[in-house]
Amino acid sequence: MLVAERYEKIVELVNARGSIRVSELSELCGVTEETIRRDLDRLEQAGRLRRSHGGAVSVKDQAAQPETPYAEREIIHAEEKRRIAQEAVRLIQPHDRIILDASSTAWYMAVHLPDMPLTVLTNSIKVALELSGKEKIEVISTGGILASRSLSYVGPLAERSLDAYYVDKAFFSCKGVHLERGISDSNEPQARVKQKILSRAGQVILLADASKFGTQAFTLVAGLNEVDAIVTDRRLPKEMLDRLTEQGIAVTTV
């Protein structure tokens, strides 16, 4: 494969997937990881993609990233999300007051939550419906503007609703986790609600499968310094795990 052909293939793969790791590109293109890193540097200089830790991110239509429909998010990396959710449930004690965001991983948490005395604040229709059959759990829904693709409430009313409460723990997810650029999501309304969620909690726990690390979405949610703990899956590269631990973040892999 000629160098120019490899460049085009890399850009095509990055745009198709949104983000991709160096190791994957090395395997798909049949060249060393060092060669891929040089290629990515040149392609970033040309404005055709953006480097991320361990890979590259598409710049195509980045200013208008649509939310992935909930039905699709629910099945992407489903097994990893279930394991993450089950581990996160272990962090909850009876009589805790918690927030669950509108992520599919938070919904998996709602599925696995035992029926015990809890107060759960959420902006997710799916989470509220899942918990409605558990009589000991008090559910508070934010209300707001319905974001149909994520089945969540966003906007000023959702944000003001969150202002009325303080909770022990907040569990949330995101589109991207980047060591330098922090935690990001697909659009501003979702990011603003997540920012408010983080501000209302004594302890903030990020739920993110390994595919989200090293990537950056359109809107900044928070810096990694605003997170107390991360629950992820065992596919997370050791280098990434070590660097997160160095920042004082408690990371659990499942």
pLDDT digits (tens, 9 = 90+) for 197-236: 999 999 999 999 998 998 888 889 999 999 999 999 999 9
For residue 205, being part of any structural domain is answered with: yes
pLDDT digits (tens, 9 = 90+) for 101-149: 999 999 999 999 999 999 999 999 999 999 999 999 999 999 999 998 8
Same domain flag for 194 and 128? yes
The number of distinct structural domains making up the chain is 2
For residue 167, being part of any structural domain is answered with: yes
Partner residues linked to 170 by β-bridges: 99, 204
Q: Domain of 156: which CATH number?
A: 3.40.50.1360
Same domain flag for 245 and 133? yes
pTM listed for this prediction:
0.74
Q: Mean pLDDT, to the nearest integer, of 39-54?
A: 84
Last residue of a domain, one of 20, 40, 60: 60
Same domain flag for 15 and 103? no
Mean pLDDT of the chain: 91
Same domain flag for 87 and 106? yes
Same domain flag for 137 and 181? yes
Cα(99)–Cα(122) distance, integer angstroms: 6
Domain region containing 32: 3-60
Is the model more confident about 50 or about 85? Answer: 85
Same domain flag for 53 and 112? no
pLDDT band at 69 (very low <50, low <70, confident <90, very high): low
Q: Mean pLDDT, to the nearest integer, of 11-32?
A: 89
Cα(134)–Cα(132) distance, integer angstroms: 6
Same domain flag for 190 and 240? yes
Same domain flag for 153 and 38? no
**For a pLDDT cut of 90, what percent of the chain falls above it?**
70
For residue 246, being part of any structural domain is answered with: yes
For residue 65, being part of any structural domain is answered with: no
For residue 86, being part of any structural domain is answered with: yes
3-state secondary structure 183-229: EEECCHHHHHHHHHHHHCEEEEEEECCHHHECCCCCEEEECHHHCCE
pLDDT at 61: 53
pLDDT at 64 exceeding the cut of 60 = no
pLDDT at 45: 80
Which residue type is seen at 102? A
pLDDT digits (tens, 9 = 90+) for 175-191: 999 998 999 998 889 99
